[in-house]
Chain A
């Protein structure tokens, strides 16, 4: 099963776009992140929903002591949790530098192995240098369930 058959085509994040625009694309396509293409047209990192939450909403100490938190913690006031303001912010400051790109002709098993190696849920797929889409664990699982995996 080649990943070109199961990648999910998405828009890319570009300099100046708002977090809201980029987040909506991730939510609509059900992908954990999309590539960031800089002003020169080069892949220069990725927008990741997980990293946005880590940067804006979950400080290290809260992660460290998550098991100690009681139920009554509504008063926790995360400074960046004001969603409206956050959605208006430029995406440029929230780009994660690592972005792993695979050839569209890679087999799904190789994509899964690379996901394990880099402890990630998703990878970007490109063909002849052109971005094609995102392959996720769930998109591979969907292909297995729907028998799409039988394609070549």
Chain B
């Protein structure tokens, strides 16, 4: 199988058209993904390379269900006031020191992003950050940018911290612990390096001390103490299950649903309202992408691409270079376009390499690092960035406004510095990355 067939060409054209519609934003990305999926299944059935059953099987249920469960858990946690409480205490601990405030807020957002969706975390923390800065008479711009960028980096450390990681982990059968062990070191190095770089880049804005942080009070932060204890208990179950899911032969999605079930039984929330908080548009977008890429895979094209690339990566000496190239290409593409379609497309290509006798483990980690770090380059690179920009505009403070150019002036150095650090770790500890 060395030549491209008509079926392969057709599926590739449908994929390209769907991606052009997604990236150009001619259509909403979910509508474009549904359109692409429907066309792919229709043409695939007509030409005989894809079936409805294969399309349904192409959807990674583990990814979709885990995201849905985590969205509901966050929706249950948010109204309890836990995030507000954390933000007020962080402000008090920083004692008006702008540099400490940046480190503490970014650390909190990064740690939360390792378990919960980083977009939701930034949605909750961004307005609190502007309020804190307003009260302390500080410019919120560096804080908003730092929170978004460092949450993107923090989320890259775990299986559940970022949707691409989840897709990679699900396809490659990588456990939560393995993800943390392999990604923990590079992410920690990149996180620390980024904090130092940001303190330098924002040295002017962070040079003036803030007002007395006592203008913020935590007294009314917790709105539902009983509910908070219960949801934290459910989340603790989820986190513990994530650490042992591989030993218990549980899928991460099932582990999260066990925690969700506990939360639902303990809290008994308004179910209609709760289900309304699930971001169905994102989930359907992911499902559409899985179906589109499933069609290309069924046509045999991705296997062929994997076969071609296999010649290159089969040489052990070239494997590290292939991994580094993948990391940088993934990062640069993720800076300008949505990293999810790229990840979904690359997964079957990498899986195809395995059949050519290539050790694909280093490629998974390279892909995860690339898509995780690349989002910081531009304001469009990650949803968390867009939220930070939007919040800076809503603040009404001219000095806080984050323009696309301003983002790039900070984001590009952050992205390239992070990639250099990650590449060094990847190179120095390459043996560690050769196992999944």
Contacts and interface: CB of A to CB of B under 8 A. Distances in A.
A65 B137 contact: no
B215 interface: yes
Given A68-B88, A68-B216, A60 B127 contact: yes
Interface in B119-154: 127-128, 130-131, 134-135, 137
Given A61-B127, A65-B128, A72 B215 contact: yes
B192 interface: no
Contacts of B217: 68-70
A13 B174 CA distance: 65
A62 B134 contact: yes
Contacts of A70: 214-217
Contacts of B397: 79
Interface in A16-68: 59-62, 64-65, 67-68
Query: Do most interface residues of chain A lie in helix, strand or loop, or is the interface mixed?
Result: loop
A65 B127 contact: yes
Interface residues of B, number: 25
A61 B130 contact: yes
Interface in B376-413: 391, 394-397
Contacts of B396: 59, 79-80
A65 B134 CA distance: 11
A61 B387 CA distance: 13
A75 B131 contact: no
Given A59-B394, A59-B396, A79-B396, A68 B131 contact: yes
B135 A76 contact: yes
Nearest to B221: A68
Contacts of A75: 137, 211, 215
Interface string A68-85: 111011011001100000
Nearest to A73: B215
Contacts of B395: 59-61
Contacts of B128: 61, 64-65, 68
B150 to A, nearest CB: 20
Contacts of A80: 396
B220 interface: yes
Interface string A93-112: 00000000000000000000
A129 B238 CA distance: 62
B84 interface: yes
Contacts of A59: 130, 134, 394-396
Complex A-B, nearest 4 residue pairs according to Cβ-Cβ distance, in ascending order: A61-B130, A61-B131, A64-B127, A65-B131
